[in-house]
Amino acid sequence: MGLQNRLRKLEETQHPEPETETGREKERKRIRETAEHINYCRDRGTPPLFEIAESSEVFCAHDGKSVTDWHQTGAEQFCWMEVEWGRPSLIHDEETEAFYILRGFCRFDESV
């Protein structure tokens, strides 16, 4: 199975919901606090990575997709940090929203 197929299957996998509304609210709070912290710690003058709506829902500033897991905040931070630093190991194609590495490519969108 190719990398694209594996990535698509992972994205389609339904993650179990927290068992209660309290659990879901704790997860939303954790996502929001992590996103706020990442935005705060970025260099001044650098646009924020996350947009936080009045409803406390968090979105990625680059593609507008909803953040549904707090681990996603760290992954977004790492990927965009690599792009901003201009590392040759990770190349971002803005037109296709694909990230290329020296040995091939890895796509981070739902259309794979």
The DSSP code sequence of 48-93 is PSEEE-TT--EEETTT-PBP-SHHHHHHHHHHHHHHHHT-TTEEEE
Give pLDDT, residue 5: 82
* Predicted pLDDT of residue 110: 44
pLDDT of residue 4: 82
Q: Residue ranges of the domains in the chain? A: 3-107
pTM higher than 0.75 for the full model? Answer: no
pLDDT at 111: 45
pLDDT average per 10 residues of sequence, the chain (112 residues): 77 67 86 93 87 91 85 84 72 74 56 42
Residue 106 pLDDT: 53
pLDDT of residue 2: 77
- Helix H or strand E segment including 6: helix 3-12
Q: What is the pLDDT of residue 32?
A: 94
Angle CA 8–34–16, to nearest 5: 45
**Residue 24: its H or E element:** helix 21-41
For residue 42, the model assigns a pLDDT of 85
